[in-house]
């Protein structure tokens, strides 16, 4: 491994594995909050010899001060959420389609897109990753809209890559839908998605609630787009992105009829035939009901689901049905999209796919509390007040599967009341329990609601998913339309672990529902000793979540599952003392546990090892030394690598606050020991 001049690790080649969540405004430093705390003055710190080496304590103090400075005056934290340039390209394409694209926005977006282009002319979907066809096509088209000439060297290089990869014909369905909006692709050559889908009963395969929440929010508006098949005049041709402009979409081999792929290919052909003969009264009714479904789910801030893609497609769909851009629904929808934009110092404009204030705030609260900040510190109390105000107390789409369950969860974003998630809810409870709030009954009431809701969202197999219950149908992922990312939401080890850890903190370690979750986690351990990471990269994240949950619930550090996890983490520690895992570990087993060391992933590994009783072990000492040695002068860490996951491999995320909150948590637990939230807490009815 080589070091780059900025101190980050250089490219790491794969080798065989040893075994198989509003842009943060700049705030003045909160000096009064920062200077009153150091790890040496924690109120409940043990007396006697120092609990960690000076470098660890110094690094922790700097990191705590930096994190405190980043808190918003309202009480929340939020780091930038970076994904890839398709967000920026599609924002320009949307504005072109609606006729509202302006020169200033276009140039700011183009500046960002150009800055993300790699030397080989391509665009990747994560830092250090390979060039990706669909991302490169969308970025190229966006730059053409911005006026970049096709014969410019950077454009020629991108087009050459696209042709070498099979051209537009081999791009994912979503990319080709965007191109079809301007006549660059034929609607007949796209999978059909009829709006009558809205009428399928909830027990019928492929009804909209068989899809994950993020997918159904996208699919419903796209059924309108698919039915309308709009085409706006293309501002220029894209012949240079086809391998053969005269035959841009050569036929592909068909899957055998006796396979599921073959079956769904034939279903798609039948739906294309239905598009031509669909009963007009039924089609009109379906379009009207799809629109009603979309409008009913618009959030108070104008967005849909708190994420950018459903908002984009919902605006297009409603516009196609005659909603004027001045209509309140579209006006607020477009305003919400502007709030996904981050203006950078160089004048560029980056679009976030989502915003993560609830997630960032609960993680920051846990980090600061575990770092020794007094439980009644103003920053923690302010954060708790903000989180308490964000609890969702009305039903959402989750109640389709759990109609009798009272609400009580938290969402990931500022506004997303229709889709609270189980993961955020568990972590918010863990954060609230670390704060000495002046109104403890207020906290207790909120926690009781949350615990009851989380327990009610347990799936049949004993585990927990992110948003829904038993969202495990095998059919949605097989649709020809669904060739990008996961469109179902099955239970995962990381979410289940966070719920189990929260239930343990609430005195429910022996609850049968908790035990079922533990049994599921133990059964899900990989032969190599790790756990798969669904929402973070990857096995290091999964293992870093599960081991603390197991020990919190009473599994001893000597348990074989814990020992296997320790051995695996030790085996994949990098020579520099850190841990890293590349996004390529999702499709390629040779990358499992391998990648350039990062602050967040090193912290995840340390959290597992510390929970397993390895504080004095060599692996922990080297990991802590790596964190202390790579810390920047301002108390932060640099982390260009993507360690978050939207869809494994297909959609990667760089949570810019991960590099801060997780190292603070790990260093805090190293210096002060593991937190004990279960001491005198008796289980409450939920």
Instruction: Label the pairing between strands 349-351 and 644-647.
Output: unpaired
Average pLDDT over every residue of 126-130: 95
- Each residue of 582-614: pLDDT tens digit? 999 999 999 999 999 999 999 999 999 999 999
Average pLDDT over every residue of 502-511: 97
pLDDT score at 478: 83
Least confident range from 44-58, 374-388, 552-566, 630-644: namely 44-58
Rounded to the nearest 5°, which phi and psi values hold at 9?
-75, 145
Say how far residue 232 (Cα) sits from the centre of its chain. Answer: 33
Residue 683 banded pLDDT, cuts 50, 70, 90: low
pLDDT score at 259: 85
pLDDT score at 22: 35
Percent of the chain having pLDDT more than 90?
83
- Each residue of 289-307: pLDDT tens digit? 999 999 999 999 999 999 9
**Can you tell me the distance from the alpha carbon of 48 to that of 58, in angstroms, rounded to the nearest whole number?**
18
Residue 649 banded pLDDT, cuts 50, 70, 90: very high
Structure tokens at 138: 């969308």
Residue 414 banded pLDDT, cuts 50, 70, 90: very high
**Can you tell me the distance from the alpha carbon of 582 to that of 585, in angstroms, rounded to the nearest whole number?**
6
pLDDT score at 678: 64
Residue 612 to residues 59, 218, 499, 607: CA-CA distances in angstroms?
A: 23, 42, 19, 9
Element (H, E) at 609: helix 599-611
Above 90 in pLDDT, residue 23? no
CB 669 within 8 A of CB 607: yes
Domains recognised in the chain with CATH numbers: 31-81+354-457+492-672 (1.50.10.20), 84-246+254-351 (1.50.10.20)
Q: How many CB atoms sit inside 10 A of residue 274's CB?
A: 14
Above 50 in pLDDT, residue 42? no
Structure tokens at 604: 């995840």
Q: List the alpha helices (DSSP H) in 169-210.
A: 173-180
**Can you tell me the distance from the alpha carbon of 158 to that of 137, in angstroms, rounded to the nearest whole number?**
8
Above 80 in pLDDT, residue 24? no
pLDDT score at 682: 54
Average pLDDT over every residue of 136-149: 98
CB 445 within 8 A of CB 388: no
Q: List the alpha helices (DSSP H) in 433-492.
A: 440-456
Q: How many CB atoms sit inside 10 A of residue 461's CB?
A: 17
Burial of 504 from C-beta contacts in 10 A (0-12 / 13-18 / 19+): buried
Q: How many CB atoms sit inside 10 A of residue 148's CB?
A: 17
pLDDT score at 27: 34
Q: 519 or 50, which is more confident?
A: 519
Rounded to the nearest 5°, which phi and psi values hold at 41?
-115, 20
pLDDT score at 9: 36
| Closest to 481 (Cα-Cα) out of 304, 261, 318, 288 | 261
| Closest to 412 (Cα-Cα) out of 305, 492, 316 | 305
pLDDT score at 53: 67
| Closest to 365 (Cα-Cα) out of 655, 641, 675, 23 | 675
Above 90 in pLDDT, residue 256? no
Average pLDDT over every residue of 459-481: 92
pLDDT score at 272: 86
Q: How many CB atoms sit inside 10 A of residue 123's CB?
A: 25
**Can you tell me the distance from the alpha carbon of 518 to that of 466, in angstroms, rounded to the nearest whole number?**
17
Rg, C-alpha atoms of the chain: 25
Average pLDDT over every residue of 310-322: 96
Least confident range from 39-48, 267-276, 334-343, 431-440: namely 39-48
CB 73 within 8 A of CB 25: no
Residue 479 banded pLDDT, cuts 50, 70, 90: confident
**Can you tell me the distance from the alpha carbon of 241 to that of 627, in angstroms, rounded to the nearest whole number?**
45
Q: Which residue has the tokens 């239905």?
A: 274
Q: How far apart are the first and last CA of the chain?
A: 51
Above 80 in pLDDT, residue 576? yes
The length of the chain is 686
pLDDT score at 685: 56
Q: How many CB atoms sit inside 10 A of residue 67's CB?
A: 24
| Closest to 292 (Cα-Cα) out of 334, 321, 256 | 321
Average pLDDT over every residue of 48-74: 85
Structure tokens at 419: 């889709």
Structure tokens at 303: 């967005």
- Each residue of 376-405: pLDDT tens digit? 999 999 999 999 999 999 999 999 999 999
**Can you tell me the distance from the alpha carbon of 365 to that of 297, in angstroms, rounded to the nearest whole number?**
30
pTM as predicted: 0.90
Above 60 in pLDDT, residue 21? no
Q: What's the per-residue H, E or C state across 321-349? A: CCCCCCCHHHHHHHHHHHCCEEECCCCCE
- Each residue of 177-193: pLDDT tens digit? 999 999 999 999 999 99
Above 90 in pLDDT, residue 447? yes
* Residue-averaged pLDDT of the chain: 90
**Can you tell me the distance from the alpha carbon of 606 to that of 667, in angstroms, rounded to the nearest whole number?**
9
Catalytic residues: 423
Burial of 432 from C-beta contacts in 10 A (0-12 / 13-18 / 19+): buried
Checking phi first, is residue 121 left (phi over 0); if not, alpha (psi -120 to 50) or beta?
left
**Can you tell me the distance from the alpha carbon of 417 to that of 305, in angstroms, rounded to the nearest whole number?**
8
pLDDT score at 257: 78
pLDDT score at 141: 98
Average pLDDT over every residue of 271-288: 92
**Can you tell me the distance from the alpha carbon of 465 to that of 421, in angstroms, rounded to the nearest whole number?**
9
**Can you tell me the distance from the alpha carbon of 110 to that of 350, in angstroms, rounded to the nearest whole number?**
10
pLDDT score at 46: 38
pLDDT score at 26: 33
- Each residue of 74-121: pLDDT tens digit? 999 999 999 999 999 999 999 999 999 999 999 999 999 999 999 999
């Amino acid at each position: 491994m080589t070091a780059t001049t900025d101190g980050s690790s250089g490219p790491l080649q794969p080798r065989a594995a040893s075994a198989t969540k509003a842009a943060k405004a700049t705030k003045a430093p909160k000096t009064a909050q920062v200077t009153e705390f150091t790890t040496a003055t924690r109120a409940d710190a043990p007396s006697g010899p120092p609990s960690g080496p000076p470098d660890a304590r110094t690094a922790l103090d700097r990191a705590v001060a930096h994190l405190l400075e980043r808190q918003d005056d309202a009480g929340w934290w939020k780091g930038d959420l970076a994904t890839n340039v398709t967000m920026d390209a599609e924002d320009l394409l949307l504005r072109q389609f609606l006729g509202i694209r302006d020169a200033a926005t276009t140039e700011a977006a183009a500046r960002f897109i150009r800055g993300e282009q790699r030397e080989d002319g391509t665009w990747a979907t994560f830092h250090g990753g390979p060039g990706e066809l669909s991302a490169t096509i969308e970025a190229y088209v966006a730059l053409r809209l911005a006026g970049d000439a096709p014969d410019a060297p950077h454009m020629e290089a991108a087009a050459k890559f696209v042709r070498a990869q099979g051209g537009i014909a081999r791009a994912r369905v979503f990319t080709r839908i965007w191109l079809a909006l301007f006549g660059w692709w034929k609607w007949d050559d796209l999978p059909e998605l009829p709006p009558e889908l809205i009428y399928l009963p909830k027990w019928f395969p492929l009804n909209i609630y068989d899809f994950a929440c993020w997918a159904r929010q996208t699919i419903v508006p796209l059924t309108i787009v698919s039915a309308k098949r709009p085409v706006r005049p293309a501002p220029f041709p894209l012949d240079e992105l086809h391998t053969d402009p005269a035959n841009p979409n050569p036929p592909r081999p068909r899957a055998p009829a006796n396979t599921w792929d073959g079956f769904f290919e034939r279903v798609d052909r039948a739906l294309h035939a239905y598009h031509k003969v669909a009963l007009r009264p039924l089609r009109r009714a379906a379009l009207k009901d799809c629109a009603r479904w979309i409008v009913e789910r618009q959030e108070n801030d104008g967005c849909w689901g708190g994420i950018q893609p459903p908002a984009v497609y919902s605006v297009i769909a409603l516009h196609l049905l005659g909603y004027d851009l001045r209509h309140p629904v579209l006006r607020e929808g477009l305003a919400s999209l502007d709030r996904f934009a981050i203006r950078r110092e160089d004048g560029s404009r980056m679009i976030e796919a989502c915003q993560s204030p609830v997630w960032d705030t609960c993680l920051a609260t846990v980090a600061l509390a575990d770092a020794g900040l007094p439980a009644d510190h103003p920053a923690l109390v302010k954060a708790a007040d903000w989180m308490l105000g964000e609890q969702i107390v009305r039903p959402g789409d989750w109640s389709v599967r759990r109609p009798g369950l009272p609400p009580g969860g938290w969402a990931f974003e500022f506004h997303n009341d229709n889709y609270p998630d189980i993961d955020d809810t568990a972590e918010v409870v863990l954060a609230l329990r670390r704060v000495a709030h002046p109104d403890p009954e207020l906290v207790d009431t909120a926690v009781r609601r949350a615990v009851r809701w989380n327990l009610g969202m347990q799936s049949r197999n004993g585990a927990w998913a992110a948003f829904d219950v038993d969202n495990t149908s095998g059919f949605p992922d097989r649709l020809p339309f669904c060739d990008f990312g996961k469109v179902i939401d099955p239970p995962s080890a990381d979410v289940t672990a966070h719920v189990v850890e929260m239930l343990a903190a609430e005195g429910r370690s022996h609850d049968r529902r908790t035990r079922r979750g533990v049994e599921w986690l133990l059964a899900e351990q990989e032969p190599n000793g790790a756990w798969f990471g669904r929402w973070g990269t990857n096995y290091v994240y999964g293992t870093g979540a599960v081991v603390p949950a197991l020990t919190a619930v009473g599994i001893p550090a000597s348990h074989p599952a814990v020992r296997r996890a320790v051995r695996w983490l030790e085996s994949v520690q990098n020579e520099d003392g850190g841990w890293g895992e590349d996004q390529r570990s999702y499709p390629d087993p040779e990358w499992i546990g391998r990648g350039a060391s990062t602050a967040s992933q090193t912290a995840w590994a340390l959290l597992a090892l510390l929970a397993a009783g390895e504080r004095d072990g060599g692996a922990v000492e080297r990991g802590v030394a790596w964190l202390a040695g790579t810390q920047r002068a301002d108390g932060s860490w640099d982390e260009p690598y993507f360690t978050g996951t939207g869809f494994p491999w297909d959609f990667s995320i760089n949570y810019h606050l991960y590099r801060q909150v997780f190292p603070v948590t790990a260093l805090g637990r190293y210096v002060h020991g593991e937190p004990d939230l279960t001491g005198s807490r008796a289980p409450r009815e939920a």
